[in-house]
Structure 1
Amino acid sequence: MLPNLWGLCSHDHSPTVLHNSSQHMNISVSIADKSCYISAVYAHTNYVQGRNLWYDLNAQIIANDGPWTCIGDFNVVLGANEARGPRVPHALPSTEFKTFTDCSKLIHLATRGSLFTWSNRRSGVALTEKRLDKSLCFTKCGPSMRIVKVVENIWNRPCYGCPMYILTQKLKNRKKELKLWNKNVFGNIHLNVKTAMAELELIQNSKTIMPSQDWRDQENLAQNKLMIALDVEESFWK
């Protein structure tokens, strides 16, 4: 039987296969003298088999400390927002997948292009589309760690005077720098979410009144924009 997953990598990155199964392959690579980990995923369509995959991936992430990327066909959606068709996706597989990504502290990376990566290639009311291909990552260098670095840099700046004056100045500098950091990294995150939701709602209403491929394409772009805004908002609260 031919393998269903193939891995190609430059020898310069010293690739090492850590674990493999019929649903995934985990490798470690060396980048800038640091170990990074990659999981190529092709999940089973049966969600019961998917449970074994979530367990294996979580165990590997725990056992190998460092940046992780999980890329591939996960054959599951996070919720109804990642599917379109005559039937609502089953809740249990979505819940189990979300539990796995939350427990593994994996971030769903935003993608470009069409929101849905799979379809049954039918037309009209029989058409079903889903977002099954995803890219997830785990890194200690997320927004929460970057803000720690910002605060450390501010606090370590030299300041002279009496202890109370030094403390007051450091607190003022921290407030100023954090405001600037928040604006540069996140912008007005809550406003961005509301704007993206309003744009999507307007397009969906227009598509209902005047169905066309153009409105459908615009809806895909608007949904992708909303997902990006929601991911940024989620990162802000972590």
Structure 2
Amino acid sequence: MNSRLHFLGLLETRVTLPNAAHVQNGILPRWKWFSNYNSAGNRIWLAWDDDFLDIAIMDIGVQFVHCRIFIRSSHIYVLVIVSYGANDVGSQRELWQALSNFSGSINDEPWLVGGDFNAVRDLSEVCGTSGDIRLAMNEFNECILNTGLVALPMRGERFTWHNCSDDGRSLWKRLDRFLANDKWMEQWPDVFYDCLTPRTSDHSPLVLSGNCRRPPVSMFRFDNYLALSLGFIASVPDIWRHHIVGTPMYSITRKLKALKPIFRQQRKMKGDLSANVKLAGEFLEIAQRLSKRIAITPCCCIWSIAADLFS
């Protein structure tokens, strides 16, 4: 798979501090790097292409690095957390609590959380003999619910981790994933990530990709006459019953897009609403002038004409 990367997160590199700069320069010599040796024992490295991104480290924990990224090409800021969850349930709760705290302070910015959470969301994400993971699974799902994050769709390998066992007790799990908030999904509704085949690591690399940022849209307006249009109402259940693979937000977006041609046809049959609104405004001005000169009856006739434009 060929991808032009601009941001990279590496977990558990096992590289000692004296060798870090040498290794980093050997991987991506012209990129900028950040590693959390001082605070968290070298669990997470970040790297980014300084020609495309500006990054400010916002917060650091034993299980995460939180940063704000400025994308120069689109002049927008996004928040990103690279996580490396602990192996035990007690320590994982510190990560869940941190994510919940962050979600309460994020107002109107796209927010992405990705990495190795060391927890699965469903028993189907485990293949092989494993211990009791239900408590960790339930608390992970509760964290996702509390933070308002949604899981991004994944392609490629089903499981992201393998224990590489030689004794016949192989175990596969989906421990790595990307989550995003609603604001991120509004900007990039078709975003997804690929789970690639692992090589030297027991984890699969994840590559986030998708469409370009959605351009700003105008305020949403719903034409009330559609609620009374039999042609439009009958089309909604026909489209809504289709099953679309992906996150709930992605599914709704695709279904709304499918309704657009029908919506446009209904508007075309109704006429130019903008012109009608302008014409109604002109009638209103005439009515206001006439009301000062003549009896109210002619004015009522003018109001009736204006009302017919919207019926």
Q: Normalising by structure 2, report the TM-score.
A: 0.50
1:49 to 91, 97, 104: 91
3-state SS of paired residue (2:158): coil
Identity %: 19
1:85 to 113, 123, 128: 128
3-state SS of paired residue (1:14): strand
- CA deviation after TM superposition for structure 1 residue 115, in Å: 0.9
Q: Are 2:164 and 1:110 equivalent residues in the alignment?
A: no
Which structure has the bigger radius of gyration? 2
Report the equivalent of 1:29.
69
3-state SS of paired residue (2:154): coil
Q: How does 1:1-238 map to 2 (within 5 A)?
A: 2=37, 3-11=42-50, 12-31=52-71, 32-65=74-107, 66-87=109-130, 89-122=132-165, 126-140=169-183, 142=185, 152-155=220-223, 169-172=225-228, 176=232, 179=235, 183=239, 188-189=242-243, 228=245, 231-232=247-248
Could you tell me how far apart the structure 2 residues matched to 1:134 and 1:235 are?
A: 19
Of structures 1 and 2, the one with the larger relative CO (CA 8 A, separation 6+) is 1
Contact in 2 for aligned 1:118/1:132 (Cα 8 Å): yes
Contact in 2 for aligned 1:36/1:67 (Cα 8 Å): yes
Could you tell me how far apart the structure 2 residues matched to 1:122 and 1:232 are?
A: 36
- CA deviation after TM superposition for structure 1 residue 15, in Å: 1.3
Q: Structure 1 residues 4 and 181 mapped into 2: Cα distance closer, same or farther (>3 Å)?
A: farther
Number of aligned residue pairs: give it: 180
3-state SS of paired residue (2:180): strand
Report the equivalent of 1:214.
none
Q: Structure 1 residues 141 and 234 mapped into 2: Cα distance closer, same or farther (>3 Å)?
A: closer
Contact in 2 for aligned 1:151/1:174 (Cα 8 Å): no
Could you tell me how far apart the structure 1 residues matched to 2:251 and 2:111 are?
A: 17
Contact in 2 for aligned 1:25/1:39 (Cα 8 Å): yes
- CA deviation after TM superposition for structure 1 residue 9, in Å: 2.5
Could you tell me how far apart the structure 2 residues matched to 1:14 and 1:178 are?
A: 49
Paired letter, 1:23: Q
Could you tell me how far apart the structure 2 residues matched to 1:98 and 1:188 are?
A: 26
Structure 2: where are the runs of 5+ without partners?
Answer: 1-16, 18-36, 190-216, 253-311
3-state SS of paired residue (1:35): strand
Bigger share in strand: 2
Q: Structure 1 residues 62 and 115 mapped into 2: Cα distance closer, same or farther (>3 Å)?
A: same
- CA deviation after TM superposition for structure 1 residue 60, in Å: 1.4
The two structures, once aligned, show a CA RMSD in angstroms of 3.4
Could you tell me how far apart the structure 2 residues matched to 1:54 and 1:26 are?
A: 14
- CA deviation after TM superposition for structure 1 residue 232, in Å: 3.9
- CA deviation after TM superposition for structure 1 residue 182, in Å: 8.1
